[in-house]
C-alpha cells in the first residue's frame, strides 16, 4: 500500500516539475528542472522493478 502511495506521489512530483519547466524562461532553470524530472523518472522506474 505504501508503495502505491509513494509511486503516486512521485508521479505527481514529475507532473509538477514538468509544468514548472514549461513555464520557466531562464535556460538554467529549465536545465535544472529537466535534471530533476529525469531523476524522478529514474526513481519511478526503479520502483517498478
Q: What are the E-state strand segments in 1-49?
A: none
Mean pLDDT by 10 residues, the chain (49 residues): 83 97 97 97 88
Q: Distance between CA 43 and CA 2 in Å, rounded? A: 15
- For residue 24, the model assigns a pLDDT of 97
Q: Distance between CA 26 and CA 24 in Å, rounded? A: 6
- For residue 42, the model assigns a pLDDT of 95
pTM of the model: 0.84
Closest by CA position to 18, among listed 34, 3, 42, 2:
34
Q: Where are the domains of the chain?
A: 2-48
Amino acid at each position: 500500500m505504501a508503495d502505491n502511495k509513494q509511486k503516486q506521489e512521485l508521479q505527481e512530483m514529475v507532473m509538477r516539475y514538468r509544468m514548472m519547466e514549461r513555464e520557466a524562461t531562464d535556460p538554467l532553470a529549465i536545465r535544472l528542472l529537466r535534471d530533476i524530472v529525469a531523476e524522478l523518472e529514474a526513481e519511478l522506474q526503479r520502483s517498478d522493478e
